[in-house]
Amino acid sequence: MFGLYPAAMADENELVKVERKGHVLIVSINRESKRNSVNRLVADGIDAALNLLDDDRDLRAGVLTGTRTVFCAGSDLTANGDYVTKRGGEYGIIRRRRRKPLIAAVEGFALGGGLEIALACDMVVASTTASFGLPEVRIGVLAACAGLFRAPQSLPLNLARQLALTGHPISAERAYAAGFVNLLTEPGRSLEGALELAAQVCANAPLAVQESLQAINDQRADEHGRGWELTNRAQDSVRDTADWNEGVASFLERRPPVWTGR
């Protein structure tokens, strides 16, 4: 039994599905054949949906989810970085300044940019099938969409280091115990749980909610500026190195990488 997911994923040709449920906007990445990885079309779809959430005064909260087996595998490497939008930045969400709460509903894995999308949300609901990871180092690159500073902000420092340095994921249960996941659900029920959490938000005064969210999030604004600076410096240090090219090539060719440290 998969809760709300079969109805939400009805149109397989719609890469990002948008559905209104009262004052809540449900945004579903629907590219399961590519593990919901983000290319130009998916980024534009997320961006348009979150623009609607930002601009429509009748909407008070949003839920961002994937499909019933996967949340998001991050960047589609064949997109070559072409997934940045004007208002949202990477994936249409990573650099977005929002005033309305956005809840991630996670089934299956949220890896790389998928975890970074979840980190860009305000709360996370995950089913016991979920897992979270930053596997970039396993292919010679690094988490360039805020994972290197948002993970230490949302998780214990040593756990954030483990994710970034080993490339291995953690379970939903461990993410919940660490305080990153707000609510843990049965398989297929994360969207239902996220809607329940959104309903609690929407029961409150909209302006008070928005100002509270902005006050909390603005405290991290200076930290984020420094985080981007350090991330860009790290990325520039490894970009176009032999290991960078080998890692991406080995991933696309589905073979083990051969590292040289150059």
Q: What is the dihedral of CA 228, 234, 238, 240, to 10 degrees?
A: 30
- In the 8-state DSSP scheme, what is residue 138? G
From residue 11, alpha-carbon distances to 32, 38, 67, 72 in Å are 12, 18, 12, 18
Spatial distance between the Cα atoms of 127 and 129, rounded to a whole number of angstroms: 5
Which of 197, 187, 207 is closest to 57 using CA atoms?
A: 207
- Which of these is catalytic: 14, 32, 90, 116? 116
229 catalytic, yes or no?
no
- Which of these is catalytic: 14, 136, 173, 229? 136
Spatial distance between the Cα atoms of 64 and 138, rounded to a whole number of angstroms: 27
**Three-state DSSP state, 132:** strand
Spatial distance between the Cα atoms of 214 and 89, rounded to a whole number of angstroms: 18
116 catalytic, yes or no?
yes
Relative to beta strand 102-106, strand 123-127 is parallel
**201 CB-near residues (< 8 Å, 6+ apart):** 60, 61, 101, 209
Give the residue numbers annotated as catalytic, written as ranges.
116, 136
